[in-house]
Structure 1
Amino acid sequence: MTDLAVELDLPAAGPDEPHIRIDNPVDGTLVGRVATATREQTAALVEAARQASRAWARTPATERGAALRSAAAALRERVDDLARVNQAETGKSVEDARGGVLAGAGTLEQYAELGPLHRGRSLLGDVTATDLMVPEPRGVVAVLTPWNDPVAVACGLLGAALVTGNTVVHKPSERCPHTGLLVAELISPYFPEGVFNHLAGDGQAGAWLAENPAVDVVAHVGSTRTGRAIAEATARTGAKALLENGGNDPLLVAEDVDPVWAAGQTATGAFANSGQICVSVERVYVHRAIAEPFLGALTREAERTGLLPLVDEAHRDKVHEHVTSAIADGARPCAGGVVPEGPGSQYPATVLADCTPDMLAMREETFGPVAAVRVVDDFDQGLAEACDDAYGLAATVLTRSMEHAQRAWRDLPVGTVKVNAVFGGAPGGAAQPRGASGQGYGYGPELLDEMTTTKVVHVEPAPG
């Protein structure tokens, strides 16, 4: 990857500079070192965004949209380079990484179209007056994005912020700084100086952004712990916090479905991208009547899947802690659950049976290729236990019963409910996470509302 970094002309840290070191999660080889910003440099980027905000807010929305379209074209042109860097840093497959880049480019194009159409209202007041509700940019938006789908997620938040007239400081995850650097190099030429600003740094740099009183919005996708720290910081500064944080997403398997099909859905939800998706299946509630064939089929799926790369060894340690804790508390490992020998940070697709609600793997987000399975006596029990959770991101229900489906989507206290498909959905869907999973719309046309604030205007003629 060092040769690839040179080939792509990505800047590297000097020998004495504070830096982030990235190793390839598959084989442990050095990917590269990226210099990290100081507190003073972080503050300077925020000030640059503040200085550029007035002119950018007054730029016609069509011109802002045109800049996004140009940025999207640049990402499409370099999709293979971005995918290679992403794979080297996070272990994500090249196919998935390409899909994330193309999804990100598509999102920029969507916001390029939606931005100029974002509108306020005229109000019906006195016939001699004009009354309006006008959306305006909030100002400086700090965008903090994760490593598991770094391009697609970043493009959503960046696109909505920029097209509505905000300026941004973007800090990608310290686990994929080379991907973030390349995205910045491709996007920044299409915006005036100070409008798009890139920051390389770790969690400390994110904290400096969140506590800066010149930041008007902190938009964050990542862990609940970080989200809560951001919420505390913005409560002091008065900035808006837009948060999509962790999830502990349940999957309910009713007795009326094919257990082999249900196992396939579960495996897709739990093992795709090594279980490192915000809406991955974390805990499974299966009806006792089909539990045995379901577990058998899910175990075979896990064994066929085999080893999967996790982003780094620290994250693998956390995933394995959840597994070993569950086993110590009585869970039965049906597949996986053993750290492999050799370099890298791979982990096997894992199935845990005989899980109970108090186990760590059932209570907290594992964010790895682990399916923790709980057998329940009926649908009511499964639904009740699925609802009993601090998180509120997403949930899935597998059933042929319309009654069960209706009850589940109405009762589950989450932002997204999927029936008979762990992934999928129509374009433009936007949900609000709940509880420990965050707050505010993170996608769709509604994200434009999050990035703007509304001013009421009343105009009437002067006498005389």
Structure 2
Amino acid sequence: MSAFALSVPVTATVAGEPHPTRSTFDVVNPATGEVFAVAPDASAADVDAAVKAAHNAFAAWRSDPAARRAALHAAADALTTARDEIAPVLTAEQGKPLAESAREVTTAAAYFRYYADMELGRQVIRDDADALVQIVHRPLGAAAIIAPWNFPLIIAAAKIAPALSAGNTVVLKPSPFTPLSSLRIGEVLRGVLPPGVFNVLSGGDKAGAAMTEHPLIRKISFTGSTATGKAIAAAAAADLKRTTLELGGNDAAIILADADPTAVAAGIFARAFSNTGQVCVAPKRVYVPEKLRAQVVEAFAELARNARIGDGTDPATQYGPLNNRPQRDRVAELVGDAVRRGATVAAGGAEIEGKGFFYQPTILTDISDGVRIVDEEQFGPALPIIGYRDVEDALARANATHFGLGGSVWGGDPEQALAVAERMEAGMTWVNTHTATSFDQPFAGIKWSGVGVENGRWGLEGFTEMQVIHHARAAKIAAQR
């Protein structure tokens, strides 16, 4: 495994300048399990400085849409230029293959470009002799963006770009497991965006709490666990801050009786094990007719056995390590619990010996609802395959969860599969695919999987508040006199 070291320490960005902190914390390379860098550990005072910088920059930033468009395009150009510098940092702290890290930087830049030219405009809802009534969208103010460790740059950019485009200013806090790439983006965009418009701090729970509780923050956009999302919602309620919360998922994939077992297994496997299973909207449990279960399990198991696991810097690597030790240990715990309760391991089922947080791609069968790895979100490279009697049985079990992020149906008859998919209780459902998203496609969960919408016009509107402007006509005013 190759070693990686930062050429220079990264720094926080506040008001367009490097911002020193009194403390730092270690950053671990998940492929080696060893510390390879330190990151600034923001205090409440550091958070206060960043939020005040964002607040002070808001009035000028919101008032000049043309300047915002130009700045966002320039930010996209700067990120694209810095791709090959940022990608190795992301791989070192997150674990994903280097090519995927490069795509993540490219996608983050594309979000800035996508939202640079999007305008909400004015909507006229009445225009007659009595009145002109319009709806406009106004920015909220300083926004707190809290991003997770699985796709730290893409998810952050999906929030930052619409926030800035709408006229808000931003304070970003990445996960403490993956702070460096986001801090580096803050450094790259110094001088590209006006001072205070985009601030980046790293730190743990205390820094996050200081952000969400700060009285000058008017919007919080968070992606992460349901438990943390509930805590943020409670903190936001005290000040009636607006929130967008993209939370956990336990997506079901339902295979119908007319499906091709080999083709469907390949399609689901690629999506379930992408990013080593660390995808909120990935398939996390598969329901298959009992008559097809043996064929489907073997097709999945063969794919798992042939997967290439390794350091993300190795071009041959398909799947890297789990991002952190607690997550690797959680996957191991859930698999162990399933085996103790009678599950059969068709492939994998163990940690990979040596350094780093590696776990074998694992396929489980002879398992059903009521076992933790079926009922909970595993967020890792272990997938339960569950037999069902009929479609009604499969739907009832797929929907019997607090989660409602995504789901999919796979079958040979597209119309039948679509009819089943429409009955899944999820914010996003797919037919013969899964995790298919785009900039202009809403990304939203229901139930415990989220509040609010990201992507497209909906994502931009989420960083605004509606204002109704009712303009009485002169003739009407005269008549009132």
TM-score range, shorter chain: over 0.9
Aligned to 1:310: 322
Matches within 5 A, 1:371-450: 371-425=383-437, 427-450=439-462
Q: Could you tell me how far apart the structure 2 residues matched to 1:458 and 1:187 are?
A: 40
Paired residue for 1:27? 32
Aligned residue among 118, 121, 125 for 2:120:
118
Kept in 2, the 8 Å contact 1:260–1:294? The answer is yes
**CA deviation map 1:174-217 (0-9, x unaligned):** 11111111111112322222111111111221111111222111
Q: Quick one: which amino acid aligns to residue 428 of structure 1?
A: D
With normalisation by structure 1, the TM-score equals 0.94
Whether the aligned pair in 2 keeps the contact of 1:107 and 1:156 (CA below 8 Å) is yes
Residue 288 of structure 2 aligns with which residue? 286
Q: Residues 300 and 161 from structure 1, CA distance in 2 versus in 1: closer, same or farther, beyond 3 angstroms?
A: same
Match of residue 82 from structure 2: 78
User: Relative to structure 2, which stretch is displaced further, 304-313 or 174-183?
Assistant: 304-313
- Counterpart Cα distance in 2 of 1:31 and 1:177: 13
Matched with 1:10 is 10
Q: In structure 2, the residue corresponding to 1:391 is in which secondary structure?
A: coil
Distance of aligned partners of 1:48 and 1:17 in 2 relative to their CA distance in 1, 3 Å threshold: closer
Whole-angstrom distance in 2 between the partners of 1:127 and 1:150: 52
Structure 2: which amino acid aligns with 1:251?
A
Task: Report the AA paired with residue 425 of structure 2.
Answer: P
Q: Which residue of 2 aligns with 1:65?
A: 69
Alpha carbons 2:145, 2:172 under 8 Å: kept: yes
Of the structure 1 ranges 24-33 and 132-141, higher mean CA displacement relative to structure 2 is found in 24-33
SS in 2 for 1:35: strand
Judging changes above 3 Å, is the alpha-carbon distance between structure 1 residues 17 and 193 closer, same or farther for their aligned structure 2 residues? closer
SS of structure 1 residue aligned to 2:329: helix
| Alpha-carbon offset, residue 363 of structure 1 | 0.9
Aligned partner letter, 1:100? E
Alpha-carbon shift at residue 128 of structure 1 (Å): 5.1
Query: How many angstroms apart in 2 are the aligned matches of 1:155 and 1:97?
Result: 14
Name the aligned partner's letter for residue 229 of structure 1. A
Measured against aligned partners, the alpha-carbon deviations of 1:416-449 in whole angstroms (never above 9, x if no partner) come to: 1111112435551013211111111111121111
Match of 2:58? Answer: 53
The residue type equivalent to 2:246 in the other structure is: E
Within the candidate set 340, 347, 363, 1:335 is matched to 347
Q: Are the aligned partners of 2:261 and 2:295 in contact in 1 as well (CA < 8 Å)?
A: yes
Instruction: Name the CA shift for 1:292/1:218 in 2 (closer, same or farther; >3 Å).
Output: same
Indicate yes or no: 2:99 matched with 1:95: yes
What code does the residue aligned with 1:19 have?
A: T
Deviation (angstroms), 1:125: 4.8
CA deviation profile, 1:335-384 (whole Å, cap 9, x unmatched): 11112222111111001101111111111111001111111122221122
Task: Give 1:154 deviation, angstroms.
Answer: 1.2
* Stretch deviating more after TM superposition (247-256 or 378-387): 378-387
Q: CA 1:427 to 1:18, structure 2 compared with 1: closer, same or farther past 3 Å?
A: closer
CA distance in 2, matches of 1:378, 1:172: 44
Q: Give the conservation status (yes or no) of the 8 Å contact 2:260–2:411.
A: no
Match of 2:317 in 1: none
| 1:173-252 → structure 2 map (5 Å cutoff) | 173-252=175-254
**Counterpart in the other structure of 1:109:** 113
- Structure 1 counterpart of 2:28, which letter? D
Among candidates 346, 359, 363, match of residue 375 of structure 2: 363
1:151-190 aligned within 5 A: 151-190=153-192
Q: Following the alignment from structure 1 to structure 2, what is the Cα–Cα distance between the partners of residues 445 and 342? A: 47
Q: TM-score, normalised by structure 2?
A: 0.91
Match of 1:44 in 2: 49
Three-state SS of the structure 2 residue aligned to 1:124 is strand
8 A contact 1:2–1:30 mirrored in 2 = no
**For the structure 1 residues 320 and 101, does the alpha-carbon distance in structure 2 shift closer, same or farther, using more than 3 Å as the test?**
same
Instruction: Identify the match of residue 129 of structure 2 among 121, 127, 130.
Output: 127
Residue 409 of structure 2 aligns to a residue whose secondary structure is strand
Aligned to 1:406, the other structure's residue is in SS state helix
Q: Secondary structure at the match of 2:283?
A: coil
How much identity, in percent, do the aligned residues show? 32
> What is the SS of the residue equivalent to 1:372?
strand
Question: 1:90, 1:431 → 2: CA distance?
Answer: 23
What residue identity is the alignment partner of 1:221? Answer: T
Matched, 1:277 2:289: no
Unaligned runs of at least 5 residues, structure 2? 13-17, 310-319
Question: How many residues of Structure 1 are paired with residues of Structure 2 in the alignment?
Answer: 460
CA drift at 1:17: 4.5
1: CA distance, partners of 2:353 / 2:437: 39
User: Helix, strand or coil: the match of 1:143?
Assistant: strand
Contact 1:171 1:201 survives alignment (8 Å): yes
Distance (whole Å) between structure 1 residues aligned to residue 400 and residue 252 of structure 2: 10
Change (3 A) 1:426 1:107: closer
Aligned counterparts, 1:141-152, within 5 A? 141-152=143-154
SS, match of residue 422 in structure 2:
helix
Secondary structure in structure 2 of the residue aligned to 1:132: strand
SS in 1 for 2:6: helix
Amino acid at match of 1:69: H
| C-alpha distance in 2 between matches for 1:418 and 1:148 | 22
Q: Return the alpha-carbon distance in structure 2 between the equivalents of residues 407 and 197 of structure 1.
A: 46
Q: Contact 2:40–2:201 at 8 Å: present in 1 too?
A: no
In the alignment, the residues of structure 2 paired with residue 92 and residue 306 of structure 1 have an alpha-carbon distance, to the nearest angstrom, of 13
User: 1:328 Cα deviation (Å)?
Assistant: 1.3
